[in-house]
Amino acid sequence: MYDFLLTATDAAGERATHRVAADSAADAHAKLEAQGYREIVLHTDDASAATPQVPGFDPSTVAPKDQVEARDLSTFAFFLFLYKKLAIKSAALEMIAVVYLGYKLYAWQPLGIAGYCAIAVLLLPAAIAAWASLFGLQRKYDLLVDASAWGRWSEVLERTPPLRGKVPELELDTREAIALAGLGRLDEGLERLRPHEHGGDSPRWMVLGRLSEVYETANQHDEALRCMREAYELDPDNPTLELDYAMALLKNEQDPQLAAQLIQSAEKRRLSDLLQLFLPFIKGLFCLNTGQDGKAVETLNEARKKLEPLAPGAPLVRQILDINAAYQAIAHVRTGRRDLALKLAEPARNRLQAINNQRLLAKLDAALGPQGSGVA
C-alpha cells in the first residue's frame, strides 16, 4: 500500500488534509468518500505515491497539510515556510526572550550572557530556515534537477555522488542515465538503470517510464515510445500512465485517435490536482497535431497560465513551460501571428538547444522559416 494526500470536507463542514494508505489514488478517494467526506481533492497520483520519498519532509513527522503547502516552493518561499513553522514551535521561548530583552532595555541594564542568549533564541529560527533553504538537502536536490533540466550534463554527474544514500537510488540513477545519454554515452546510461529493471522497490512501469526519458534525451524516439507503451500496458488503469503514453504518441505524431482515447479515459479517473494542471499542455499538443490550430493556441495559453505559478520552485516545470512555448510558437505561426511566435521562440529555442531536443527544434525552425529559425 502507498500513502496518498487528499484534502476533503467532513460532515461538520471542516476542511482538512489527510494521509490515506491505499493501493491506488482511486482507492484512497473511495475510502474518504465511504467515511462521509466530500469535496475531495487528490494531491498524490499513483506515480508519485509509488516514488520513494524524495528529500524534503519525513511523512512520519510532518502534517499532511504542510506537505501539500511546501510543494514546489521557491527558495525564498521555502525559507518563509520553514521560518514560520520554526517560529511557531519556539513561540513560548521567543516570548520569554522578548520580555527579558524588553526589561533589560527599559532598565538600561547590560544584556549580559543571558541577554545574548535571548537574542540567539530570536534569531535561531531564521538562521535554521536560511541554512536549510540555501544549503540543505532539498536545495542540493533542486540544483541537481535544474542542471538536468538545462542539459548541463557534466554538472549532473558531479552533483549526483554527494546525494547517494540521501535521495532514492532510482532518482539519482535516472539523472545520471539521462546525463550520460545527453553526452552521447547512451549504453552507459542504460547500464545505470539495469539493476532497477530486475529488482528494486519501484514498480516496473515506473522504471520503463524512466528508460523512456533516457531514450528521449538520446533522440531515440521509437525506443522512448516503446518503453512508454510497455509501461502503460503493465498498468492500463493508471491515469498518469495514460497521459504519459498519450503525450509520447503526440510527440511522435502517431495515432492521434488512441491519444484522444487515453486522454478521455484519464479524465474520467481520479486525477491529482497537479496532474490536472498538465492536462491543457497535453490537450494543446493534440489540437496542434490534429489541425485545430486556433484551439491549440487557446489551450497552450491555458497550460502556461496554470503551470506558471509552480515554476519558481520546480525546475522541470520551467522546462515544460519552455517546451510549451515552442508549441505555442508553432501554433501562432499557423494562425498568422508570427510576431507572437518570434517572441516565444527565442527562450524556447535556448532550452531546446540546451537539452538537444532535435525533433522539436526542427519543427520550430520549419514553422518559422529561415528568417526566424535562428540559423545564420
| Cα–Cα dist 156/356, whole Å | 15
Cα–Cα distances in angstroms (integers) from residue 110 to residues 96, 101, 106, 126, 182, in the given order: 17, 10, 11, 25, 62
Quick one: DSSP state of residue 98?
H
- The predicted pLDDT at position 320 comes to 96
Burial class of residue 256 (count of CB atoms within 10 Å of its CB; 0-12, 13-18, 19+) = middle
Q: What angle do CA 335, 336, 340 make, to 5 degrees?
A: 95
| Cα–Cα dist 59/52, whole Å | 12
Alpha helices, H only, 185-292: 186-197, 204-217, 221-234, 239-251, 256-267, 273-289
Q: How far is CA 271 from the centre of its chain?
A: 15
- The predicted pLDDT at position 374 comes to 54
Cα–Cα distances in angstroms (integers) from residue 119 to residues 13, 94, 124, 169, in the given order: 42, 9, 9, 42
Cα–Cα distances in angstroms (integers) from residue 250 to residues 111, 300, 308, in the given order: 68, 14, 23
- The predicted pLDDT at position 268 comes to 93
Helices (H) and strands (E) in the chain, counts: 19, 3
**Length of the chain in terms of residues written:** 376
- The predicted pLDDT at position 376 comes to 36
| Cα–Cα dist 142/150, whole Å | 12
Burial class of residue 305 (count of CB atoms within 10 Å of its CB; 0-12, 13-18, 19+) = exposed
- Sign, CA dihedral 29-30-35-38, equals positive
Quick one: DSSP state of residue 18?
E
- The predicted pLDDT at position 56 comes to 52
Q: What is the pLDDT along the chain (376 residues), one digit of tens a residue?
A: 778 898 999 888 999 999 898 888 888 899 998 999 889 998 988 887 776 555 555 566 678 888 787 777 888 888 888 888 888 988 998 899 899 889 888 888 888 888 889 899 999 999 998 988 888 888 899 999 999 999 999 999 999 999 999 888 999 999 999 999 999 999 999 999 999 988 777 899 999 999 999 999 999 999 999 999 999 999 999 999 999 999 999 999 999 999 999 999 999 998 999 899 999 999 999 999 999 999 999 999 999 999 999 998 899 999 999 999 999 999 999 999 999 999 999 989 999 999 999 999 999 999 998 665 554 3
Q: How many CA atoms lie within 13 A of 50 on its CB side?
A: 19
Q: Are 55 and 166 in contact (CB under 8 A)?
A: yes
Q: Are 182 and 148 in contact (CB under 8 A)?
A: no
Residue 287 Rama label (left phi>0; alpha psi -120 to 50; beta): alpha
Q: Which positions ≥6 away from 351 have C-beta within 8 Å?
A: 150, 319, 322, 323, 326, 357
Q: Are 197 and 177 in contact (CB under 8 A)?
A: no
- The predicted pLDDT at position 58 comes to 58
Q: Are 8 and 68 in contact (CB under 8 A)?
A: no
- Sign, CA dihedral 212-215-221-226, equals negative
Q: Are 137 and 168 in contact (CB under 8 A)?
A: no
